[in-house]
């Protein structure tokens, strides 16, 4: 779709194009809001928007991918102007968060479309937030740095969309770099680009097409982690996240918390160690270890953290049976994709197998995407 043309036809003036990507994450799941490490990369799929100021005090937005009457939304910029359409809340939230940071956001027109599959665990919502954070910062001379743009997206989720997410998705979308994964320390926000070109392997996503929506269940996982931290902090000074908690400390509070909370928190401690092991393995080009850790993450997320589902478990198990190097649920969970590290020569047969067997079991094929790691937020 030619967004500039559509913009011109809709609004009678000219829009500027902005893009932000979705993301993958190699390992480090649900660690971001626990002060841990994550290993994401931006993908070549994302949200593109044509945007321009309109000289009014209202925003007029056209979502070209929506085919019913909810595709056009108009809203003002006061806190009380929150639109009813869920998708528009992301853009409204971004505007409000920019305004809270002192940016003089005024009315604008926008047309946007995207190619990140929705509800697939690839952060279509972060792509949307980052696109509008970047665009409003550019158009209204906000002078907000990239870290803060990522936080604008995160705070939008917290304050306008009901998801108490961490910083990984928005960070990856804003900071992505072609061909590189990023190791981010979510406590210090220090990060490093890791060129990722695993010779002889491919990263393939299999989308169960079980639409995941993050909300209550995600927030509950976070609350479990915070509850365990509170119990440990009552006994030890200087503990503010699970990052600081050891297995011994966990044992001390075992009888004080529910088994569910305990297992969820223990998963986070395990995942902390796995991320470190993967960093070491990547430095040695040891992808077999990377893959093994991915499986461990999957089964930890499934059995202990409780964010998998039947379809995801089926795909991870099948990957194991097919000799795939690594496979696990990616992102928040509750549906969406598995990320698979597959040896080149196994790729075609694995995908064929997965399509057939998944279809026999669930009545439809999973969608398959080969991962291409791309650049972050930008003006096109």
331 binds ligand GLA (CB under 6 A): yes
32 binds ligand GLA (CB under 6 A): yes
- Among 109, 169, 226, 304, interactor with ligand GLA by CB under 6 A: 169
- The distance of closest approach from Cβ of residue 248 to ligand GLA in the complex, given in angstroms and rounded to an integer, is 25
Sheet bearing 326-329, strands edge to edge: 326-329, 337-343, 201-207, 367-370
261 binds ligand GLA (CB under 6 A): no
304 binds ligand GLA (CB under 6 A): no
Query: d(Cα 75, Cα 88) in Å, to the nearest integer?
Result: 9
User: Is 65 considered catalytic here?
Assistant: no
**Host H or E run for residue 246:** none
30 binds ligand GLA (CB under 6 A): yes
Measured at the alpha carbon of residue 217, what is the angle toward residues 214 and 222, in degrees to the nearest 5? 95
33 binds ligand GLA (CB under 6 A): yes
Q: Which is nearer to ligand GLA, 119 or 366 (CB)?
A: 119
The SS3 assignment for 90 reads helix
* Tokens standing for residue 42: 């931006």
Q: Are 208 and 361 in contact (CB under 8 A)?
A: no
Inter-axis angle of helices 216-233 and 259-283, nearest 10: 90
29 binds ligand GLA (CB under 6 A): yes
168 binds ligand GLA (CB under 6 A): yes
- The distance of closest approach from Cβ of residue 154 to ligand GLA in the complex, given in angstroms and rounded to an integer, is 8
Beta strand 58-63 with 191-195 is unpaired
- The distance of closest approach from Cβ of residue 144 to ligand GLA in the complex, given in angstroms and rounded to an integer, is 20
Q: Which is nearer to ligand GLA, 11 or 218 (CB)?
A: 218
Judged by CB under 6 A, the chain residues 107 through 126 that form the site for ligand GLA are 123
Reference 228, options 204, 211, 252, 196; nearest CA is 252
Q: Are 325 and 290 in contact (CB under 8 A)?
A: yes
- Among 98, 133, 165, 209, interactor with ligand GLA by CB under 6 A: 165
Q: Which residues contact 187 (CB under 8 A, 6 or more apart)?
A: 35, 36, 241, 243
**How many positions of this chain bind ligand GLA (CB under 6 A)?**
12
Choose one: 13-21, 24-32, 282-290, 313-321; the region binding ligand GLA (CB under 6 A). Answer: 24-32
Residue 342, exposed/middle/buried by CB under 10 A (0-12, 13-18, 19+)? buried
Length of the chain: 380
Choose one: 27-35, 257-265, 270-278, 319-327; the region binding ligand GLA (CB under 6 A). Answer: 27-35
Query: d(Cα 296, Cα 327) in Å, to the nearest integer?
Result: 9
- The distance of closest approach from Cβ of residue 283 to ligand GLA in the complex, given in angstroms and rounded to an integer, is 23
Judged by CB under 6 A, the chain residues 52 through 81 that form the site for ligand GLA are none
Catalytic residue among 32, 169, 261, 304: 169
Judged by CB under 6 A, the chain residues 181 through 240 that form the site for ligand GLA are 214
155 binds ligand GLA (CB under 6 A): no
Query: d(Cα 99, Cα 379) in Å, to the nearest integer?
Result: 21
C-alpha to C-alpha distances, 187 to 136, 190, 241, 244, 250, nearest whole angstrom: 27, 8, 9, 10, 20
Choose one: 138-146, 160-168, 200-208, 240-248; the region binding ligand GLA (CB under 6 A). Answer: 160-168
Q: Which is nearer to ligand GLA, 125 or 340 (CB)?
A: 125
- The distance of closest approach from Cβ of residue 52 to ligand GLA in the complex, given in angstroms and rounded to an integer, is 30
Residues contributing to the site for ligand GLA (CB under 6 A): 29-30, 32-33, 123, 165-166, 168-169, 214, 331-332
Residues with active-site annotation? 169
């Amino acid at each position: 779709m030619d967004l500039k043309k559509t913009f011109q036809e809709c609004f009678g003036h000219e829009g500027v194009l902005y893009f932000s990507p979705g993301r993958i994450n190699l390992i480090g799941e649900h660690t971001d809001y626990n002060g841990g490490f994550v290993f994401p990369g931006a993908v070549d799929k994302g949200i593109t928007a044509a945007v321009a100021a309109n000289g009014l005090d209202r925003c007029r937005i056209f979502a070209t991918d929506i085919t019913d009457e909810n595709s056009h939304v108009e809203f003002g910029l006061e806190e009380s102007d929150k639109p009813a359409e869920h998708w528009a809340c992301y853009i409204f939230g971004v505007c409000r968060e920019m305004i809270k940071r002192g940016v003089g956001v005024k009315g604008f027109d926008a047309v946007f479309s995207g190619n990140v599959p929705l509800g697939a665990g690839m952060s279509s919502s972060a792509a949307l937030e980052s696109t509008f954070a970047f665009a409003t910062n550019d158009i209204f001379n906000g002078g907000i740095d990239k870290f803060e743009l990522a936080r604008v997206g995160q705070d939008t989720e917290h304050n306008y969309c009901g998801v108490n997410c961490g910083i990984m998705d928005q960070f990856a979308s804003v900071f992505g770099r072609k061909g590189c994964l990023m190791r981010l320390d979510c406590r210090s926000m220090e990060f490093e680009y890791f060129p990722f070109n695993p010779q002889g392997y491919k990263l393939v996503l299999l989308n169960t097409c079980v639409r995941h929506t993050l909300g209550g269940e995600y927030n509950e996982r976070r609350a479990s982690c915070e509850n365990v931290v509170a119990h440990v902090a009552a006994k030890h000074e200087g503990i503010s996240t699970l990052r600081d908690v050891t297995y011994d400390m966990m044992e001390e509070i075992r009888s004080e918390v529910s088994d569910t909370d305990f297992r969820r928190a223990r998963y986070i401690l395990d995942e902390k160690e796995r991320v470190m092991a993967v960093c070491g393995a990547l430095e040695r080009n040891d992808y077999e270890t990377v893959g093994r850790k991915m499986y461990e993450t999957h089964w930890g997320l499934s059995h202990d953290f409780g964010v998998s589902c039947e379809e995801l478990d089926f795909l991870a198990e099948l990957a194991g049976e097919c000799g795939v190097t690594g496979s696990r649920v990616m992102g928040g969970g509750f549906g969406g994709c598995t990320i698979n590290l597959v040896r080149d020569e196994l790729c075609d047969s694995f995908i064929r197998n997965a399509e057939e067997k998944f279809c026999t079991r669930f009545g439809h094929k999973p969608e398959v995407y080969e991962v291409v790691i791309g650049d972050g937020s930008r003006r096109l």
